[in-house]
């Protein structure tokens, strides 16, 4: 799949493509990321890409015309049969959830617009943008970090990126739940950690019991911290009889 990124700061991206488990997806071009410097499409004589908002007020707005030229160059270069969706990142967008990530991971790519300043001339959004996505309810200085977040979340779902192909099926969010706790050696930590040991079941070798324990811990953590996720998992038919029994135990024992 191919992602074209429109940005004033293309240099922010490269480090994210050469480290960690996602590196394989980017270096193999399984995910082919092409960076387009918006400055290259600015208005002469100084390559302007922004100007003051009509009506006054603080800050600057990204101009529609440089964006139009960048988009036309990308669309020509992609030579697409089905045009890739143009995505803008904004707090006004649809929340980026794992289901949205999964949609992109199984698609053929997108054009990602990373705005700066106060944002983009609304006419460009209305005429050209197909989808607006938000990574959360806070205000960032630009859309580059949201674009990188989407690319990272999509990259780790690509075949061969996680060592074990079951890894992402076991992700909390593939079932719509928060993850269970994890433990590794030693079995008992020193006094600074309260001499805490590892839950016995994880040392038992009983894989059915271990799976059930993990599922129960994921369910109790989720009902405690994010009850709305339990409601959604239930509505999606993701909860079994034993799951519902675990939830009843956890709500009646006020964990
Ligand atoms: N932005 N989720 C880009 C965000 C944001 C978010 C504010 C978008 C600044 C220029 N984007 N503009 N939250 O805070 O996606």
**Each residue of 68-100: pLDDT tens digit?**
999 999 999 999 999 999 999 999 999 999 999
Between the CA of 193 and the centroid of ligand 1 the distance, in Å, is 39
CA 6 to ligand 1 centroid distance, Å: 14
Considering the candidates 118, 132, 152, 179, report the single residue annotated as catalytic.
Answer: 118
Query: Pairing mode, if any, of strands 50-51 and 61-62?
Result: antiparallel
- Residue 91 is a catalytic residue: yes
Angle between helices 207-225 and 241-252 (to 10 degrees): 50
Q: Is 128 a known active-site residue? A: no
* Helices 227-235 and 207-225: angle between axes, nearest 10 degrees: 120
Concerning whether 132 is annotated as a catalytic residue, the answer is no
Question: Which pTM does this prediction carry?
Answer: 0.95
The two tokens of residue 253 are 């024992």
201 C-alpha to ligand 1 centroid (Å): 44
Tens-digit pLDDT profile for residues 197-229: 999 999 999 999 999 999 999 999 999 999 999
């Amino acid at each position: 799949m191919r992602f074209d990124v429109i940005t004033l700061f293309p240099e922010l991206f490269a480090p994210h493509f050469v480290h960690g488990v996602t590196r394989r997806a980017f270096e193999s071009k399984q995910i082919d990321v092409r960076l387009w410097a918006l400055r290259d499409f600015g208005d002469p004589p100084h390559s302007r890409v922004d100007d003051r908002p009509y009506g006054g007020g603080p800050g600057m707005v990204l101009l529609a015309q440089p964006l139009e030229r960048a988009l036309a160059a990308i669309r020509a270069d992609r030579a697409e049969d089905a045009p890739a969706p143009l995505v803008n990142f904004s707090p006004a967008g649809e929340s980026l959830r794992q289901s949205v990530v999964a949609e992109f991971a199984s698609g053929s790519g997108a054009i990602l617009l990373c705005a700066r300043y106060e944002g983009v001339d609304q006419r460009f959004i209305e005429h050209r943008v197909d989808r607006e996505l938000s990574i959360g309810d806070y205000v960032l200085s630009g859309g580059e970090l949201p674009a990188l977040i989407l690319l990272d979340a999509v990259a780790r779902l690509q075949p061969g990126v996680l060592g074990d192909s079951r890894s992402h099926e076991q992700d909390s969010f593939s079932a719509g739940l928060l993850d269970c706790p994890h433990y590794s050696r030693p079995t008992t930590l020193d006094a600074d950690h309260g001499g805490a040991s590892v839950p016995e079941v994880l040392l038992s070798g009983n894989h059915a019991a271990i799976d059930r324990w993990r599922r129960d811990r994921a369910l109790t953590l989720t009902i405690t911290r994010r009850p709305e996720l339990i409601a959604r998992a239930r509505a999606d038919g993701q909860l079994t009889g034993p799951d519902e029994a675990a939830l009843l135990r956890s709500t009646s024992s006020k964990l």
